[in-house]
Amino acid sequence: MKEDANPESRPYWRTLDELADDPAFQARLANEFPSEVEAITDPVERRTFLKLMAASLGLAGVTACTRQPPEKIIPYVRQPEEVVLGRPLFFATSMPLGGVATGLLVESHEGRPTKIEGNPLHPGSLGAADIHAQAAILSLYDPDRSQTLTHAGDIRPWSAFLGAMRAAMTAQAPLSGAGLRILTESISSPTLAAQIRDVLARYPSARWHQWDPASRENARAGAKLAFGEYVDAHYRTLADRRSRGLVGHSMGGYGAARIGMKHADVFGSLYVMSPCCLAARGGRPANPGTDSVLESVRTPADEAKLSFFQRATLASAAAWSPDPKNPPLYLDLPTRNGVAQPDVLARWAANAPLAFVDQYVGSLRTLDGIAMDVGDQDGLRTDAAKLHEAMDRYGIANAFEVYPGTHTSAVADRFQNHVLPFFGRHLCPTVRCQ
């Protein structure tokens, strides 16, 4: 075969389809690389493209070969006694917020704090940590956290700060500190508070302001409205059922009766005030008009138009007969189209204290004290009397009083003059209950 004298004119191909110049192959090539089809099919453009790509890769390789400075990992010369590499170390500490300290446990690795949790042995946290405590760890690694003293953006030594403060305080001396204001967060440290009081004694016209972005000021203001003075109460509770009582009024009275029966291992005494919902609902509709209104409720706007007792019925259905497959309220009402629903009524009856009191006779006998009261003009007095009679029938000691009044007319008086003295007699006030 005669060799072609001009190598540039030789046809080069990669597949038989390309050699045959198959139209289907050309179409597939165009669809696969639509933007580069001319560069691939044109030999000159193809070589130019490959040259540029080779140069780019070469330049990238040159920049990637930059040698990093050597970094050495050096072990401790004298390793701290409790530090073990790879194992966390926990420190007990506290964080003040709003003038109240919260007990915390800080997890650290090789001296670097990494996680904050509550201290289960601290009465102020009992192992819990709020969002403020959890976020406090971030402040230790804040790149904007000031590392030095600055003034107007310039770094200044500590001596410059002391000199400026002395000059300012000297100027305030003739004015008794009239131009001096001290702004701090809430202070619970006796030492720091005493130091600030010494400054105020030296400059009697000065003022000390305490402010926190998150504080208990509303609670303090409420305490002043209630007691006539600022009171910061921290209540001490005793972890013993004999030191724990349960009381409720109306729906709360129902809750007190039900919870007290079922959890006599948690509470030692029980006071039930004007309880509702004690008896199981009958098989006939309680109020046909109300039932039809409740069945027509479809939206929150419909619910907003209901009366209190209609809303209470919906609330009862949500608690006693929920139905995740019955939108939009996801509950079952005791009637449907005016017809009583026995299965729903059975679920309601299962939540009526008069229906299940017989099951908790043993639990009720363990309570140190049981009391119940109701007004003589209260429509709930009949069922309350039945609960009293049921306990009497089983010989369960309980006090029952019908007083002059309606469902709500004497709640404050009953609570102050009857409920509190009752718990004063029956709750154990010390950690060593007999």
Q: How many domains does the chain have?
A: 5
Pair 398, 345 in one domain: no
- What the block records as the tokens of 203 is 């400059």
The pLDDT > 90 percentage for the chain reads 32
Calpha distance 230→220 (Å, rounded): 6
Of 99, 95, 94, 101, nearest to 193 by C-alpha is 99
Q: Are residues 262 and 372 in the same domain?
A: yes
User: CA-CA distance, 401 to 414, in Å (whole number)?
Assistant: 11
In a domain, 182, yes or no: yes
Compute the chain's Rg from CA coordinates: 40
From first to last of its 434 residues, what are the pLDDT tens digits of the chain?
445 555 555 666 767 777 777 777 777 666 655 555 555 555 556 677 777 777 776 666 555 556 778 888 787 888 888 888 888 989 999 888 776 788 899 999 888 888 999 888 887 778 888 888 888 888 888 777 788 888 888 888 999 999 998 998 899 888 888 989 999 888 878 899 899 999 999 999 999 998 887 777 788 788 888 878 877 666 667 778 889 999 999 999 999 999 999 999 999 999 999 999 999 876 554 566 777 888 888 888 888 888 888 888 888 888 899 999 988 888 998 888 878 888 998 999 899 999 999 999 999 999 999 999 999 999 999 999 999 999 999 999 999 999 999 999 989 999 999 999 999 999 987 655 65
CA of 291: how far to CAs of 84, 104, 314, 337, in Å? 70, 54, 10, 8
106 with 196, same domain: the answer is no
Q: What is the pLDDT of residue 230?
A: 77
The contacts of residue 189 (CB under 8 Å, 6+ apart) are: 96
Residue 35 CA neighbour count, 13 Å, CB half: 1
CA within 13 Å, CB half, 266: 8
Q: CATH number for the domain including 121?
A: 2.20.25
pTM above 0.95, yes or no: no
Whether residues 230 and 252 share a domain: the answer is no
Same domain? 360 vs 374: yes
The boundaries of the domain holding residue 113 are: 89-139
Q: Are residues 247 and 302 in the same domain?
A: no
Please report the pLDDT score of residue 1 as a whole number: 45
